Amino acid sequence: MNDIDTVKTDVLIIGGGPSGLATAIHLADKLKQKGEQKRILLVEKGRSIGSHILSGAVIKPAVFKELLPGTDLSEIPFNAKVTTDKTVFLTEKRSITIPFHIPYMNNIGNYTASLGEICRYLAGKAEEKGVEIYTGFAVDEILYKDGKVIGAKTKDTGIDHNGNKLENFQPGTRVEAKITIFAEGTRGSLAKMLIKKLNLAKDRNEQVYSLGCKELWSVPEGTIAPGEVYHTMGYPLQNDEFGGGFIYGLKDNRVAVGLVVGLDYKDPSFDVHDAFQIWKTTPFVSRFLKGGKFLEYGAKTLPEGGYYSIPKLFIDNALIVGDSAGLVAMPALKGIHLAIKSGMLAAETAADALINNDTSENFLKKYEKLIETSFIRDELYPVRNFRQAFAKGLIAGGMQFGTQLITGGAGFFGRLKSHPDYLTTVKLSELKKKPFKERFKGKLEFDKILTFDKSTDVYHSGVHHDEQQVVHLHINNQGNFNAVNIEQYGASEVFFCSSEVYELHTNKAGRKEIRIHAENCMHCKTCDIKSPGDGITWVVPNGGNGPDFQNM
């Protein structure tokens, strides 16, 4: 892709996560079966496949048999088969194991894994089948002709902070494709533009998100067996904060721990990273980490609006898959198998479209029909009101969810609406409970043995951004930001950011302002979702920038 201004391909896939890689593999297989030779090109912004991939992960394996027919599951680099699967309710000092499986949360038969490792394996399979994979290229523009998508363009590089071209300026590459697949994962920056421009979320619920902070640890032998899985509810979250923790036992005496919190919380000073650290100090969690060594940190959002938040997924010449399509089964905290299945269904649609030489919306609508007759609908439709119910708190949500279980998902109220997460944050003056810092007074000094401040955690994510580029976090309205976001919401960006990008600073004139340390950005996208007044837009930085996850 070096000096070529325009590259032509049959299919362009943007994003090398499970959804994009499954699209590539299945498309190559389908075309081969039909004796067709087509060019399939996949572009990934991470410096290598897996470096921007973060998940729990406990994976439902069956879909891998569909994706890789004839492959024994033992060949796939899952980590361990789940042997123990418990849900535990935490208070600050105590834990109570719930004596039954909460509906949809049974993990027996599933596997623990590093999704990054799985993606590296899938990328190898895709390349064996002739897919061209280009890593370290950020795609920042959708190409349109006569209002229809005709491909996308990678980001120009060699630009200074103010947008001026430098000597090493390198224009991005135009990639023109008969079909473009948007597989950018959670809050895809191109998918977001596409959905807005073509009004693809018309009549759908607003998408809502969670943020998950995760650490990988090496622990003394015998601490946790591979395949031991624990989910926690309760402390340090309160009734009006949706979420919970996970502890997944891995091979080689490793353990993945994380806390996932719904971004519809109210307190503008709530801090998921710090809540995660406090969660680790509970006796139940800390015993899994005692004497261990912290290896890696990362954070990412996940869409959890469910069935009613899925946008229209097909348009002329383009399809949307995976998390960008909002395909996560939230009660189970699972999206990987749905990402893979959606990629496969997009691939089947794309293969037929190419063979029939018809990539129009009318032809590609078959994709949505395939989704509607697949296990994707079977898993999402019965829980279509799940997340909305919990917007009113754990107790009210639990009761509503009970009625939904009896009524096949409808509950007593039919379709429940959702609101963008930034609208649920209240002003400091309207907060009716203790702000986060007061709630956990005395608990926010991190010891750097069990608990870590954001800087230390960020250091353990391998994050890097080129200095010479326009800051990729745009404040949408500077005047409004100072008056509203800083003055009224107390600069909630400082707290919700998973990686210390936003700093509240007082300038020489005594005015408070936000400093943006874009170099720390974990690409979790929380600021694009949670900044009050829709205050911040996240765009892709230079290709190859961002975290360098090894095994997340």
Q: Which stretches of the chain bind ligand FAD, using CB under 6 A?
A: 14-20, 43-46, 52-59, 115, 138-139, 183-186, 188-190, 212, 214, 258, 260, 300, 302, 322-324, 328, 333-337, 339, 540
> Measured at the alpha carbon of residue 17, what is the angle toward residues 27 and 188, in degrees to the nearest 5?
105
Q: Which is nearer to ligand FAD, 55 or 79 (CB)?
A: 55
313: closest CA among 185, 182, 495?
A: 182
Q: Which is nearer to ligand FAD, 52 or 530 (CB)?
A: 52
Q: How far is the CB of 405 from ligand FAD (least distance, A)?
A: 21
Q: Which is nearer to ligand FAD, 258 or 292 (CB)?
A: 258
Q: Are 319 and 183 in contact (CB under 8 A)?
A: no
Q: Which is nearer to ligand FAD, 322 or 490 (CB)?
A: 322
Helix, strand, coil percentages in the chain from 3-state DSSP, rounded to 5: 30, 25, 45
Q: Are 315 and 367 in contact (CB under 8 A)?
A: no
Query: Which residues have C-beta within 8 Å of that of residue 231, sequence separation ≥ 6?
Result: 86, 87, 88, 105, 244, 245, 246, 247, 333
Each residue of 401-412: b (16+ CB within 10 Å) or e?
beebbeeebebe
Q: Residue written as tokens 């591979």?
A: 226
Q: How far is the CB of 546 from ligand FAD (least distance, A)?
A: 7
Q: How far is the CB of 481 from ligand FAD (least distance, A)?
A: 25
Q: Which is nearer to ligand FAD, 303 or 490 (CB)?
A: 303
The single-letter DSSP state of residue 131 is -
What is the β-pairing status of strands 254-262 and 148-154?
A: unpaired
Q: How long, in residues, is the chain?
A: 552
Q: How far is the CB of 438 from ligand FAD (least distance, A)?
A: 27
Q: Which is nearer to ligand FAD, 30 or 192 (CB)?
A: 192
Q: How far is the CB of 19 from ligand FAD (least distance, A)?
A: 3
Q: Are 423 and 271 in contact (CB under 8 A)?
A: no
Q: How far is the CB of 134 from ligand FAD (least distance, A)?
A: 9
Give the C-alpha separation, 392 to 409, whole Å: 17
Q: How far is the CB of 137 from ligand FAD (least distance, A)?
A: 7
Q: Which is nearer to ligand FAD, 139 or 179 (CB)?
A: 139
Q: How far is the CB of 248 from ligand FAD (least distance, A)?
A: 8
Q: Which is nearer to ligand FAD, 46 or 292 (CB)?
A: 46
SS (H, E, C) 65-129: HHHCCCCCHHHCCCCEECCEEEEEEECCCCEEECCCCCCCCCCCCCEECCHHHHHHHHHHHHHHC
